[in-house]
Amino acid sequence: MAESSKEWNISFAGCGFLMAYYCGVYSCLFERAPFLLKGVKKICGASSGALMGAILASKSCENLLEMSREARKGTLGAVHPSFDLLKIVRNFLNHDLPEDAHLLASGRLFVSLTRVSDGTNVLVSEFDSKEDLIQALICSCFYPLYFATLFKVFSRFQRYVDGALSDNMPFSGLRNTITISPFSGESDISPYGSPFYFHDIYYNNVSIHINFINAHRVVIAFFPPEPEVLAEMCQNGYKDAFLFLKENGE
């Protein structure tokens, strides 16, 4: 993709523990096409995709691997009663995001939320403080039935849950949006799809091939795998992003 003055967006699909894939994508873009990251107008995401949008500058997968190790301590992984994933995510954000993260994110980061009262999608892009930003990200990751508590409340005095339930890839319909997903499908950067897939579905704006490999990825999204598997996902993200750049003239 040649550098130009044209405006563009980047949108990350929600994908749970498959977020390690995004670390590889980021590493490739940072090394080979940094202008794509520096010049992006809107960074959009739902659930773990929103987390990736918020930590674009972290340049590291180390804490994701640590999260996986913590999740695997319980017999049932992340759904074990002794495991508090939201607490781990909050600690990660508090540690990795700078104190002025809300200023850097306002007007640039668009977090997808689902309003509990009517199921409507809400995109939040203005944040009053670092805590306000973190709370929005926590809400966007809150998948009902996966966590012990019922709802998380954002600062607008509304109840919200996982943004992936209403719009899993914000601004994906715009031609100038680079869509990124760890599921094989029609996203701009995604794993190469097997020719042996049964059908294509759209899960709240994310194209997903129905095949056995994607079915396995769904399981990994909810149940964290070994750190070695996460590292492999990171490598695959790098390779797929490199292929995207090559096909688009970079």
pLDDT one-digit tens code per residue, 183-233:
999 999 999 876 665 688 888 999 998 888 898 999 888 887 887 888 899
Bridge partners of 162, per DSSP, are: 113
Please say if 162 is a catalytic residue: yes
Structural domain spans, the chain: 9-247
Please compute, for residue 108, the number of CA atoms within 13 A of its CA located in the half-sphere on the CB side: 16
Taking residues 53-81, report their average pLDDT. 58
Q: How far apart are CA 248 and CA 250, in angstroms?
A: 6
Check 47, 68, 172, 207 and give the catalytic one.
47
What is the DSSP code string of 28-52? HHHHH-HHHHHS-SEEEEETHHHHH
User: Given its phi and psi angles, is residue 170 left (phi above 0), alpha (psi -120 to 50 degrees) or beta?
Assistant: beta
Query: What are the C-alpha distances in Å from 174 to residues 171, 177, 241?
Result: 6, 6, 20
pLDDT one-digit tens code per residue, 142-171:
887 665 554 555 656 688 889 999 999 999
Task: List all residues 6 or more positions away from 141 whose beta carbon is below 8 Å from its beta carbon.
Answer: 47, 48, 50, 51, 86, 89, 162
Check 132, 162, 167, 188 and give the catalytic one.
162
> Is residue 177 scored above 90 in pLDDT?
yes
Task: List all residues 6 or more positions away from 25 whose beta carbon is below 8 Å from its beta carbon.
Answer: 180, 189, 237, 238, 240, 241
CA dihedral 11, 174, 210, 238 (to 10 degrees): -40
> Is residue 182 scored above 80 in pLDDT?
yes
Please compute, for residue 168, the number of CA atoms within 13 A of its CA located in the half-sphere on the CB side: 19
Where in 102-224 does DSSP place strands (E)? 109-115, 121-124, 152-153, 159-162, 177-180, 199-203, 206-210
Cα 123 → chain centroid: 15
Please say if 47 is a catalytic residue: yes
* Residue 149 pLDDT: 53
> Is residue 66 scored above 70 in pLDDT?
no
pLDDT one-digit tens code per residue, 1-11:
444 447 899 99
What is the token pair recorded at 85?
A: 């994933």
What is the token pair recorded at 100?
A: 């002025």
User: Given its phi and psi angles, is residue 215 left (phi above 0), alpha (psi -120 to 50 degrees) or beta?
Assistant: alpha
* Residue 73 pLDDT: 57
- Residue for token digits 């200023």? 103
pLDDT one-digit tens code per residue, 116-137:
889 999 999 999 999 999 999 9
* Residue 226 pLDDT: 81
* Residue 96 pLDDT: 83
